[in-house]
Amino acid sequence: MLHISYFTSRLFILLVIPIALGSSTGMADAVDPSEPSSSGSDFGRIEILDERLNELIATGAQLEILADGFQWSEGPLWLDSQQLLVFSDVPANAIYSWSERDGIATYLEPSGYTGDAARKGEPGSNGLVLDGSGRLVLCQHGDRRIARMTSDVSQPQPVFETAAGAYDGKRFNSPNDLVFDSSGNLYFTDPPYGLEQGPDDPTRELEWSGVYRLSPQGEVTLLYPELSRPNGIGLSPDEQTLYVANSDPEEATWTSFRIHEDGSIGDPVVFHDATGDAATKPGLPDGLKVDHDGNVFATGPGGIYVFSAEGKLLGTIETGEPTANLAFNADESMLYITANDKLMRLRLH
């Protein structure tokens, strides 16, 4: 993938296509769900800025609400071996699962805070990923660490081992999102959202919100400390470019970094600035995923922004909700979306 250039001008909207609304049932009593419903006036719109978006989203695709009633849904991950989607509910300190056969169920509880003392804020897990051995690796807000679930994903148990809990002897803020490369290096972000009192929490030990790399040998490297609220993170297919979302209403941006052969990263390049959109639409740059062709699907103000591998904004998928994160299934034919209190799905091809 080529290094992304900086796009500052707003692009002309060529076409707006409504997406039909569908819904699926099968909710668990554990999440006290309400009837699936849309709450935003922009729900189900696609804004097409480049005709290449039509090659990424199936004709007549329906944006479906699969389930709702959560507190703040996050970190979706497709488990192909189980034909199961798992996702975090951060305030609930739980991970839920969804399948076509069984609908919603509780997958893992607790998920991000394992202490005994009562805790406020957002204690649960956030980003989820599988390591090279198929083990579940979690960003744990409450325990302030990157952790690995010790049981198999088919028989989840809330028993964890710490993969990384500190940098230079100081505890992380609250690791948020993460991605592995093919060599087993784990890239992750560490904003202060999971601290009980946010950035001013008296237990905070690091003065910055960092972007880090964890090596397979357990070494933690600070790659970049200058983003105010680093959040979603992803890699280009050739693993030469790192993408990071910044969830700051005053600087709502997506930034790319070139990854050098020695593991260091180059200067930041802002490839899209959505600060203006953040003033009028719900949500901020949050989670992101990169497909096999290098297109970047990134949650942001109003829904999902889709960028080409060259950094051109192809269009948006309007959810009408603050939208947290997303995940592909194994063949990238489905896009699963966590948005506010909802779990959604969109067929791509």
Alpha helices in the chain (DSSP H): 275-278
- Taking only the tens place, the pLDDT of each residue in 107-142 is 999 999 999 999 999 999 999 999 999 999 999 999
What is the pTM assigned to this prediction?
0.90
- Taking only the tens place, the pLDDT of each residue in 12-32 is 233 333 444 444 434 433 344
Bridge pairing between strands 62-68 and 20-23: parallel
Give the integer Cα–Cα distance in Å for 238 and 262: 15
Residue 139, SS3 per DSSP: strand
Alpha helices in 91-174 (DSSP H): none
- Taking only the tens place, the pLDDT of each residue in 185-235 is 999 999 999 999 999 999 999 999 999 999 999 999 999 999 999 999 999
Sequence-ordered list of residues with C-beta below 8 angstroms from that of 100, at least 6 positions apart, any chain = 83
Instruction: Decide if 339 contacts 321 (C-beta within 8 A).
Output: yes
- Superfamily of domain covering 72-295: TolB, C-terminal domain (2.120.10.30)
pLDDT tier at 159, thresholds 50, 70, 90: very high
Instruction: Decide if 339 contacts 327 (C-beta within 8 A).
Output: no
pLDDT reading at 265 higher than 50: yes
Q: Say how far residue 97 (Cα) sits from the centre of its chain.
A: 16
Count, residues in the chain? 349
Of 137, 201, 149, the closest CA to residue 175 belongs to 137
Q: At residue 120, what is the residue type?
A: K
Give the integer Cα–Cα distance in Å for 75 and 77: 6
Q: What is the pLDDT of residue 131?
A: 98
Q: What is the pLDDT of residue 59?
A: 85
- Residue bearing the bigger pLDDT, 26 or 10: 26
Instruction: Decide if 189 contacts 243 (C-beta within 8 A).
Output: no
pLDDT reading at 73 higher than 80: yes
Helices and strands of the chain, counted as H and E runs: 1, 29
